[in-house]
Structure 1
Amino acid sequence: MPTSQPIDKNQEFARCLESNQISALAPFHWLSLAFKDIIRAPMLSLIYGLVFSIIPAFIMWLVFQSGTHLVILPASVAFALIGPAFAAGLYDVAWELEKGHKPTLMHSLKSMFRNPAGEWGFAILLMVIMIVWMRLAALIHALYPNVPNPTFEQLQAFLALGSIVGGVLMLCVFAISAFTPQIMMERRVDIMTAVVSSVHAVKTNAPAMFVWGMTIVTLVIIGFLTGAAGFIVIMPLLAYASWHGYIAIIKTKKPRGYE
């Protein structure tokens, strides 16, 4: 009778990686490290910053062309949803700097194919969520008062439901995307392991994640207030800081050899 083979934990599906507990103010330390990364890799940061600034610039152009402010909320949420999946190149830059290497554009572009099944699968997941949000936004729009210059009282139902649905969706997406791309890039694990580990890390460090979430929202608002020009710096800053947050929170069995 054949004996059962021990399970290789590295091949387990949807396992949960352990997390460290950090200070609620740790995100500000991540931002300070991110500023240093921008200074150390200015050209790569500028290139990616310019690319990422195009998306919010298009959103603002869409608002101008449509002549209505109603597309701002769903479009902004859509931008926030797909952003984490396409920041892989910036994560690679921060990773190379931490290892003491000189980051290059080609190496960062190749990082998008380091774990193609997981990384692109996650991008598709976020795209699906984005489409669901756009459909929900269209349904919520039915509550918008069909009168010129509606009063705040007339807008209450529309604003309340839109805020609740958008808030719940953003909270869920934040939990699953906070560290998922970084985990899949470094560990090359399956998408469910990355998602489960990200949710666990967010739950374990709720105070710090609240501060980090509010920081992201604040910087994104600043980016839009500057006519999307601010995203040239904001997007690399957030991506690098997210990488440092990942390094600080997600445990490894052996020391990485860099901090």
Structure 2
Amino acid sequence: MSHPFKQAPENAITQSGIARVIPCKELDVGDPIKWLSLAVQDALRTPVITAIYGVIFAVIPWFIMYLVEMTGWHLVILPAIVCFMLVGPFLAAGLYDVSWELEKGHKPSFRHSLRAMRRNAVNEWGFGVLLMVMMIFWLRVASLIHALYPSYTETTIESLMPFLVLGTIAGGVFTLAMLFITAFTQPILMERKVDLATALLTSVNAVWVNKVPMVIWGSIIFSAVAIGYVTGFIGFIVLMPIIGYASWHAYIDTISTKRARKYV
């Protein structure tokens, strides 16, 4: 269990002059499992909406892989996986709205969830643009890695190993950076009328303060994405809505509020 009234100690980023940083709480290593448990409860309470979003999350990577097959450039698979992880937080806004409606005791609807981006439109769309810029930047880095790889080398596991290792390291760095940036930014922007810089720095600060629990949470997200790809994207129908709901509960547990929440 987390400590709802235990504030994390201040550090350099909370004194930033760039934007206000919302205080965070200290988490326990077992909290990610609690978030998943609450997410399953949300999914069971909203089976139709959950299924709709699950199908959407399954169709998107299927389309990406279809393009890969059409172009014949199979070395783009790894960048495509990271791109999906970049865009995922932005697409999960509707799922956050469903959990938020349940928290308030309302009956969620798909239409209402689609309007989630309009609550803090300028900053939320700014966040979407930021994700797109980072996605494009990652694709350029991946293209550079591929361009430096000698095309005349035999296509064997041994010959591909340096490319795969370099690509994995680069992808890991980008994924870690995205964990800091996206962990709490989207739900903060949805619930609170704050600017993008405040939401971003609050997310970075919260992840930094709770390194171990957030690394565990990041590993769970990565594992869910990996399982989804191994199952031919069918796993995304169930896993991605669960991750979306759990991300909202992670936000509830981590980012402080002036008044205690009713939903735990």
Q: 2:224 aligns with which of 208, 219, 235?
A: 219
Aligned residue type for 1:145? P
Q: 2:20 aligns with which of 15, 18, 34?
A: 15
Deviation track 1:111-156 (CA, whole Å, cap 9, x = no partner) reads 1111001111000000000000111111000233323633444334
The CA distance in 2 between the partners of 1:46 and 1:156, in whole Å, is: 38
Contact 1:17 1:193 in 2 (8 A): yes
The CA distance in 1 between the partners of 2:185 and 2:51, in whole Å, is: 24
| Alignment partner, residue 10 of structure 2 | none
Aligned residue type for 2:67? L
| Alignment partner, residue 5 of structure 1 | none
The CA distance in 2 between the partners of 1:195 and 1:94, in whole Å, is: 21
Unaligned runs of 5+ residues in structure 1 are: 1-11
| Alignment partner, residue 45 of structure 2 | 40
- Give yes or no for the alignment of 1:207 onto 2:212: yes
| Alignment partner, residue 172 of structure 1 | 177
The CA distance in 1 between the partners of 2:177 and 2:211, in whole Å, is: 13
Contact 1:144 1:155 in 2 (8 A): no
| Alignment partner, residue 92 of structure 2 | 87
| Alignment partner, residue 56 of structure 2 | 51
| Alignment partner, residue 75 of structure 2 | 70
1:1-259 correspondence to structure 2 within 5 Å: 14-147=19-152, 149-259=154-264
Deviation track 1:31-61 (CA, whole Å, cap 9, x = no partner) reads 1111110100001111111111111111222
Deviation track 1:168-208 (CA, whole Å, cap 9, x = no partner) reads 11111110100000001111210000000000110111111
Aligned residue type for 1:120? W
Task: Report percent identity of matched pairs.
Answer: 54
The CA distance in 2 between the partners of 1:46 and 1:160, in whole Å, is: 36
Label 1:143 to 1:152 Cα distance change in 2 as closer, same or farther (>3 A): farther
The CA distance in 1 between the partners of 2:162 and 2:54, in whole Å, is: 37
Q: Once the 2 structures are TM-superposed, how far is the Cα of residue 93 of structure 1 from its aligned partner?
A: 0.1
Q: Once the 2 structures are TM-superposed, how far is the Cα of residue 163 of structure 1 from its aligned partner?
A: 1.9
The CA RMSD over aligned residues, in Å, is 1.6
State the number of aligned residues: 248
TM-score by length of structure 1 reads 0.91
The CA distance in 2 between the partners of 1:32 and 1:134, in whole Å, is: 35
Contact 1:202 1:209 in 2 (8 A): yes
The CA distance in 1 between the partners of 2:106 and 2:216, in whole Å, is: 31
Q: Once the 2 structures are TM-superposed, how far is the Cα of residue 107 of structure 1 from its aligned partner?
A: 1.3
Aligned residue type for 1:39? L
Q: Looking at CA atoms only, which structure, 1 or 2, has the larger radius of gyration?
A: 1
TM-score by length of structure 2 reads 0.89
| Alignment partner, residue 7 of structure 1 | none
Label 1:44 to 1:13 Cα distance change in 2 as closer, same or farther (>3 A): farther
The CA distance in 1 between the partners of 2:70 and 2:50, in whole Å, is: 30
Unaligned runs of 5+ residues in structure 2 are: 1-16
The CA distance in 2 between the partners of 1:250 and 1:61, in whole Å, is: 39
